[in-house]
Amino acid sequence: MKKLLQLTVNTVPREVAVHAHATLGEVLREELGLTGTKIGCGEGDCGACTVLLDGEPVNSCLVLALQASGREVTTIEGLADGEGLHPVQAAFVQAGAIQCGFCSPGMILSATALLRRMPAPSELDVRTALSGNLCRCTGYQKIVEATLGAARDLATEGEQASSRRRP
């Protein structure tokens, strides 16, 4: 019999009946219509299904949906604020870091999570943080460049915001 799952997805409280064995990835895609999260292997090896669970990147194919009960999930659809692109998304688009795009949602979320906890990462920090997200198209170089570029953009935005706040 299904159980009622209550959780927050992209800042919105959601409620859905799920089987005990349903994964978070399946529920996001099939019950909540959030198909931006991709399933590349279903076994936690490729990272395409990465979402943020209470801000931490997880492979949603390995998390049981019920484990997310009462918690906050951010999917790729929840990253941008309003109409525009999140700075990490914009950086990926500009840098040519997206080819087939199947790894991109997971990659962008992993990169975003990194920058939130480490605003000025080194290249090695970036590669390490993204090492769980496989990409077969790009060779990662433009992904790394995009992430470092986004870090700089976010730092500049932050400086501009704080300088506007000064009296």
Taken in order 117, 81, 63, 15, the sign of the CA dihedral is positive
Q: How far apart are the C-alpha atoms of 63 and 1, rounded to whole Å?
A: 19
Which among 1-9, 113-121, 136-144, 157-165 is the span making contact with another protein, rule CB under 8 A? 136-144
# chain residues binding another protein, by CB under 8 A: 54
Q: How far apart are the C-alpha atoms of 93 and 146, rounded to whole Å?
A: 8
Burial class for 153, CB neighbours closer than 10 Å (0-12, 13-18, 19+)? middle
Q: Looking only at residues 16 through 35 of this chain, which bind another protein when binding is defined by CB under 8 A? A: 29, 34-35
Is 151 a binding residue for another protein by CB under 8 A? The answer is: no
Out of 58, 98, 113, 154, name the contact with another protein by CB under 8 A.
98
By beta-carbon proximity to another protein, the closer residue of 108 and 113 is 108
Which among 62-70, 114-122, 133-141, 154-162 is the span making contact with another protein, rule CB under 8 A? 133-141
Out of 31, 67, 137, 153, name the contact with another protein by CB under 8 A.
137
Is 79 a binding residue for another protein by CB under 8 A? The answer is: yes
Is 148 a binding residue for another protein by CB under 8 A? The answer is: no
Q: Are 123 and 144 in contact (CB under 8 A)?
A: yes
Q: How far apart are the C-alpha atoms of 88 and 72, rounded to whole Å?
A: 20
Q: How far apart are the C-alpha atoms of 124 and 52, rounded to whole Å?
A: 22
Is 74 a binding residue for another protein by CB under 8 A? The answer is: no
Q: How far apart are the C-alpha atoms of 29 and 146, rounded to whole Å?
A: 27
Out of 5, 103, 150, 151, name the contact with another protein by CB under 8 A.
103
